[in-house]
Chain A
Amino acid sequence: MNALSVAGLNVYIRDHQILKNVNFAVESGSAVGIVGESGSGKTILAKSLIGLLPGGGRPEGEYRIGAEEVPLAASEKEWRKIRGKRIGLILQDPSTALEPLGKCGTQILEGVPKENRKAFDVAEALAEVGLSADVQHRYPNEISGGQRQRVVIAASLATEPELLIADEATTSLDVVTQKEILDLIDEIREKRKMPLIIISHDIGLVSDRTDYAVVMQEGEIVEEGPVAELIANPRTDYAKKLIEADRVLFTSDYREAPKDGSLVVVAESLKKSFEGAVALDEVSVEVRRGECVGIVGESGSGKTTFARCLVGLERPDSGTIEYTGKGHPQMIFQDPYSSLNPSHTIKYILLEAIRAAGYPQEESKKKLSEMLSLAELREELLSRKPDSLSGGQRQRVAIARALALESELLICDESVSALDVIVQNQILDTIEGLRREKGLAVLFITHDLSVARRIADRIYVMRGGRVLEHGTVRNIFEAPKEAYTKELLEAAFAAGHL
């Protein structure tokens, strides 16, 4: 018996077809994972199941909840009978899913149908998601991100849905919180015998938390099957690539630091605070020529502030930075969409960097093609503007630009975390190659332990503006000294990430 099924689902937004002939079903009591990279249509799929397509969206196809057929083009009024009672939806970002001016208790209660409202016990609902009763009197900005997502879950459960959709529900959370929330969802599913759809870009997460997986690419389902089977024997190239990228990222061997390199940068006892809030507290880090140093920490750990101090975007309040390499250190930012000026062509952007590096006019052409080949960029992209490039291509342009100055230190600030996993791997390979060929020192800042493990020789673990511990990758991963490092590692293991 299926809890939910769609057949021949097509969704058009304005003139574009976003979903193409999508067929899938969720068996009662089971958890289905929908995996896809950004732009695969997975979120549009979720939204069309609950009638919340953006303006101009037009769905067609056959849709059943239980045995009952639901017209996809139903009116708002008819959808309101389905939303909440039959299907619940958990959104990605708990900091925006709750209304800022309403107390948490009120927000949980407002979805409860009028006739049940008197009998509804908010404290009990909060207890089910592991929160104390006093949270009902708090405003969303008075509780943490993890607690907020718990309130969101409680609010979703308050309408007693038959099925729950979690759309990237843990993506914006720190890894430790991520695990707690996923555990909570598992537990609730178990208790309520509730079928579940988990939508995620993360195949590791899906393989860990669901029974059945559906792989989407460009609006189509390219492969599906029981999770264990699909992971073990993927049939399509795309699924293979996804799994492989996941695996390479998570199971690469430890790397050993080259011991012979001379120091390229030494930062000592850096302190920095913003309006009283401490961002850096006695941070000391050194990087040698040819090595890759990872700085690992969650948001708010001070890792980005540290990187910005190194390139001179922030000035530390005290402490010293001694850079002995050639050129000014260069930085690759996190967001490929704002790393390049949208008004200029790629050629203009790169030539400007070459000019800034002081190359004479006649040599700039040669330098340009050298940069392109090092960053593995095709020449025909030169005449384009950034918004016609993919995220990965943009990040490569940023890398090429950083190479113009022949600087000896490249700082990557979460440079792959906005990219899909396959592209992530390719970019990491390119950075790796640069290090080998040009002997660059790389400082890689990331929240993702698997990325750090894949690329770094040595790791510094930061938290609350302090360096908790540092050592070779092997030391940190196999013999962590600090409780916090252990906790991070555990969460990453649990999420299937290591």
Chain B
Amino acid sequence: MKSPGYGKMPVGVMVSSAFLLLVLVCLLFPDLLAASPLKIDTSLGAVPAGSPGHVLGTDSLGRDVLDLTIRGTRSALLGPLAIALGSIVIGLVLGSLAGWFGGVPDWIISRYADITLSMPTLLLAIVAASILGGGYWVSVAVMIILYSPFDIRLVRSAVIAQKNKPYIESALILRLGTPRILAVHIFPNIAHIILVNFFLNIAAGLVSMSSLSYLGLGVAPGDADWGRQLADGKGALFDNPMASVTAGLAIIITAIAVNVVGNYFSERTTIG
């Protein structure tokens, strides 16, 4: 991935990267930053921010809001990461198949993608997650299925754009095998598109998954999860608004940061 060297990294990208690093620490080592384990104190209830021992106050169950938010990172982000990964894997396999071979596989895969794409993703996810009733990972699986058509299309058109380039045709004339051409000649040239899309998928996944958990789907009541925390905290909006505002800000800022970094990669790689 070569990129022209002019211009320093914009401030927004630096701040976003730093924030994502912090999020990553919360995700991997929650115990480092949060008191363990989460203490429930129903007699305390929701106390406002700035109360002794609770910088951001407590929620209606008396749990420390800061700790709850830090522990919610895992649930908020593992799913989106899995969605982004799963979706890109399906996209790579089916997209390359459709793009490279064309013909019948392409027709079938493309129609599948067209039709799935025309459906409202979140609505279907809500219905599916609510009816299947399953846990967190069922929602993730549903999201992967609904996200993958985007990635299939993306990979397909990237492969098609590559397929007719003279260097691919030269490889064909040299009689190199299909797996080698795909792996050695096409993949390195579309990798940056996939990377950028991976970021966008995480951001979108974060929004979708937190929307579901906000509606109470995929996570049990009282679980540490940003969407859930926001929903639960809404009930205590007058006592301690920070309970839900913190969760809301965590979701918004993380989503923006992921998009900022993703856009930065995308701009860096499309200039040259």
Contact = CB atoms under 8 A, between A and B. Distances in A.
Interface string A308-349: 000111000000000000001111011100111111100000
Interface string B259-272: 00000000000001
B13 to A, nearest CB: 20
Q: Chain A interface mostly helix, strand, loop or mixed? A: loop
B6 A14 contact: yes
B6 A401 contact: no
B224 to A, nearest CB: 43
A1 to B, nearest CB: 43
Interface stretch (B42-50, B113-121, B172-180): B172-180
B170 interface: yes
Contacts of A356: 174-176
Contacts of B169: 313, 331, 333
Contact of A312 (B6, B170, B173, B188): B173
B165 A338 contact: yes
Contacts of B175: 328, 356
B166 interface: yes
Contacts of A330: 173-174
B176 A341 contact: no
B188 to A, nearest CB: 4
A68 interface: no
A352 B173 contact: no
Nearest to A329: B173
Given A333-B166, A405-B174, A341 B6 contact: no
A362 interface: no
A392 B9 CA distance: 35
Contacts of B174: 328, 330, 352-353, 356-357, 401, 404-405
A343 B6 contact: no
A1 B175 CA distance: 65
A413 to B, nearest CB: 9
B185 A341 contact: yes
A356 B2 CA distance: 28
Given A341-B189, A342-B189, A343-B189, A331 B6 contact: no
Interface residues of B, number: 19
B39 to A, nearest CB: 54
A398 interface: yes
A352 B167 CA distance: 12
B76 to A, nearest CB: 36
Given A14-B6, A15-B6, A387-B2, A340 B167 contact: yes
Contacts of B166: 333-335, 338-339
A339 B188 contact: no
A328 B184 CA distance: 21
Contacts of B167: 338-341
Contacts of B184: 344, 352
Contacts of B176: 352, 356
Interface in A264-315: 311-313
A339 B6 CA distance: 27
Contacts of B170: 331, 333, 339, 398, 401
Interface in B138-183: 165-176
B162 to A, nearest CB: 9
Which 5 pairs, one residue from A and one from B, show the smallest C-beta to C-beta distance? Answer: A343-B188, A333-B166, A341-B167, A356-B174, A339-B166
Interface of B: 2, 6, 165-176, 184-185, 188-189, 272
Interface of A: 14-15, 311-313, 328-331, 333-335, 338-344, 352-353, 356-357, 385, 387, 398, 401, 404-405
5 contacts: A313-B173, A343-B185, A352-B174, A353-B174, A387-B2
Given A329-B173, A330-B174, A334-B166, 12 more contacts: A14-B6, A312-B173, A313-B169, A313-B172, A330-B173, A331-B170, A333-B170, A343-B185, A344-B188, A357-B174, A385-B2, A401-B170
